[in-house]
Structure 1
Amino acid sequence: MSMNFAHKPNYFLFAQLLIRHVEGYIKKHPDANNAIFDLRDIYELFRQDLASTTTNLDGILNIADEYTVDTINGDQKIISQYKIDAEQNSLLIDFNADALQALRDGKQIIAPDATLHQ
């Protein structure tokens, strides 16, 4: 008997979860220009998917940093840069100031086109 197991993570789902988490953080902390998330919280956010919280996190963040908001200067990325700090078990995110202000003003988040990524 042969059984094939395959685990193909859904990077776009996890990126969406992460961006919604970031959006909630921005609403709770309106003066924040950046955020530091404990990777244990990200692990819980990703429903205890260890691979997505560790090995695949950079790939997920590569998609998450493509989310934009319409600003007076055109569509701007929400995340200007990020850093995974394994020693401190944290994820550091810097926000784009224009996108951050647009979110605070009630603008909607624009998701990247999943058909353009492989």
Structure 2
Amino acid sequence: MNLEYTHKPNYFFYAQLFIRHIETYIQKHPDVLHATFELSDIYDLFRQDYASSTTNLDSILNIADEYKVETLNSGDQKLITHYKIDAENNSLTIDFDEDAAKSLQQGKSLVAPDANQYE
């Protein structure tokens, strides 16, 4: 028996979409070092893709937490230092690296992870 998949998740697309959302969030809230998002907001961000906002969310965040920001003090730093998906409370908590968040606010660019390094 051979099953053909009709929907192949694009983890890198959703990771980039999520990181752009984080980038906007940090610009609007310059003093924040952690954020909590409702999973329903992530569902809307991913255009009502239920699988990407539930089952595949951890895999997407694994890619998103590899994005780095150029910092003056210590080279490229990961923007996300820690994340936690709380299914009971339907929330996602993100902790940011302070230097990376400040550099992002100052207009430094994001450095995306190399997609060739993932299977």
TM-score, normalised via structure 1 length: 0.95
Runs of 5+ consecutive residues of structure 1 not aligned to the other structure: none
- Aligned identity (percent) is 63
Q: Which runs of 4+ in 1 moved over 6 A?
A: none
Partner SS for 2:31:
coil
- 1:41-99 deviation per Cα after TM superposition (whole angstroms, max 9, x unaligned): 10011010000000000000000000000112011000000000111101000001110
2:45 corresponds to 1:81:
no
Q: How does 1:4-15 map to 2 (within 5 A)?
A: 4-15=4-15
Q: Distance in 1 between matches of 2:79 and 2:62?
A: 12
Q: Distance in 1 between matches of 2:4 and 2:92?
A: 34
Whichever residue aligns with residue 41 of structure 1, its letter is: D
The CA RMSD measured in Å over matched residues stands at: 1.4
Runs of 5+ consecutive residues of structure 2 not aligned to the other structure: none
Q: Distance in 1 between matches of 2:81 and 2:34?
A: 10
Q: Distance in 2 between matches of 1:97 and 1:32?
A: 9
